[in-house]
């Protein structure tokens, strides 16, 4: 999780600064959600999420001016400008209440204003903070986009993962990250990105580092993708139980709390791995659209067995 301070979000959305100096803009933002104070303005403070950015829209400003006297305003604003609250934003071009401005100046507390609608502002803040404060981890493997599906190819070192991905790139698919994948949970989805320093590069044993974009064109790489499918490469062992028909129970890997379908594919000399991975991805696309080829085949076999049984009983 990266560190985000008030200055970052102010510069991102170009809010107007009402109070707060450079030191005040260094307050940390640690919560994705915002707080529209309703009960707080009414004088009820238990349960308040004090670490959220406070948003005052038309309703809040209207309530402050029409229903709150100076004493109740001071009580509410003294609480809302506490040491753990990052900032207060006033939307829809509303003017800052004088009591709030006075208290914020005394405390060097950051207050901002925006001409944007409250609903738009909250969506923008949530989306921005969701990405900046996203949970993350580093995964070992290759991330490639095949037929629009983000495929994480994992396996032990020396399995030929980079060589397989290179062949997929030559077939028109896109490289996202080689060897190291920076994984983030954003909007309840897994997003994979390359480390900026090695973005667009691959390492091939015996060849060295290659620049994929310059060799295969700008369309051969992409900066990020959802991680939809995980393919684990294993050395072929005749004693291992691999899916033959596909009716076996599906296996999943949990990454940052999100389950990803996993396929274990054996690697052996002569197997066209790029073709197999393309086929696995197309079968995955059929699966998420509701077409399960294995089950359809099983139903066909069962119907044939029942037909033969009926013929034998008639005979």
Residue 299 burial by Cβ neighbours in a 10 Å radius (0-12, 13-18, 19+)? exposed
Does the pLDDT value for residue 62 go beyond 90? yes
Does the pLDDT value for residue 314 go beyond 90? no
Per-residue pLDDT reduced to its tens digit, 217-266: 999 999 999 999 999 998 877 545 555 555 567 889 999 999 999 999 98
If one compares 296 and 4, the residue with the highest pLDDT of the two is: 4
Q: CA 242, CA 265: separation in Å to the nearest integer?
A: 8
pLDDT at residue 290 in the model: 80
pLDDT at residue 239 in the model: 47
pLDDT at residue 117 in the model: 95
Verify whether residue 228 is a known catalytic residue: no
Average pLDDT over residues 134-152: 94
Verify whether residue 244 is a known catalytic residue: yes
Average pLDDT over residues 49-65: 95
Does the pLDDT value for residue 130 go beyond 70? yes
Average pLDDT over residues 176-180: 95
Verify whether residue 179 is a known catalytic residue: yes
Which entry of 161, 173, 193, 228 is annotated as an active-site residue? 161
Verify whether residue 292 is a known catalytic residue: no
Lowest mean pLDDT among 87-91, 111-115, 203-207, 248-252: 248-252
Whether the Cβ atoms of residue 267 and residue 159 lie closer than 8 Å to each other: yes
Q: CA 193, CA 138: separation in Å to the nearest integer?
A: 10
Which entry of 65, 140, 156, 250 is annotated as an active-site residue? 140
DSSP SS3 for 196: helix
pLDDT at residue 153 in the model: 96
Average pLDDT over residues 166-186: 95
């Amino acid at each position: 999780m990266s560190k985000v301070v008030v200055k970052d979000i102010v510069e991102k959305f170009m809010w107007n600064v009402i109070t707060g100096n450079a030191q005040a803009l260094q307050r940390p933002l640690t919560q994705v959600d915002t707080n529209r104070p309703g009960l707080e303005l009414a004088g009820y403070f238990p349960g308040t999420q004090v670490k959220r950015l406070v948003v005052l829209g038309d309703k809040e400003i209207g309530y402050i001016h029409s229903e709150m006297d100076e004493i109740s305003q001071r009580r509410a604003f003294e609480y809302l400008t506490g040491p753990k609250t990052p900032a207060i934003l006033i939307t829809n071009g509303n003017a800052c209440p004088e009591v709030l401005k006075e208290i914020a100046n005394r405390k060097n507390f950051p207050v901002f204003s925006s001409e944007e609608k409250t609903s738009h502002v909250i969506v923008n803040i949530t989306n921005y903070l969701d990405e900046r404060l996203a949970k993350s981890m580093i995964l070992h493997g290759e991330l490639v986009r095949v037929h629009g599906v983000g495929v994480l190819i994992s396996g032990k070192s020396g399995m030929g993962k980079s060589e397989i991905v290179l062949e997929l790139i030559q077939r028109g698919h896109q490289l996202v990250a080689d060897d190291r994948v920076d994984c983030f949970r954003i909007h309840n989805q897994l997003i994979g990105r390359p480390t900026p320093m090695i973005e667009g590069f691959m390492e091939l044993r015996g060849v060295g580092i290659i620049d994929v974009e310059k060799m295969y064109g700008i369309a051969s790489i992409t900066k990020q993708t959802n991680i939809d499918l995980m393919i684990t490469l294993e050395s072929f062992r005749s004693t291992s139980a691999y899916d033959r028909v596909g009716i076996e129970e599906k296996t999943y890997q949990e990454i940052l709390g999100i389950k990803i379908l996993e396929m274990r594919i054996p690697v052996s000399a002569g197997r066209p791995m790029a073709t197999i991975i393309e086929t696995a991805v197309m079968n995955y696309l059929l699966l998420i659209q509701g077409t399960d080829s294995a089950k359809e085949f099983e139903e066909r076999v069962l119907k044939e067995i029942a037909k033969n049984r009926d013929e034998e009983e008639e005979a």
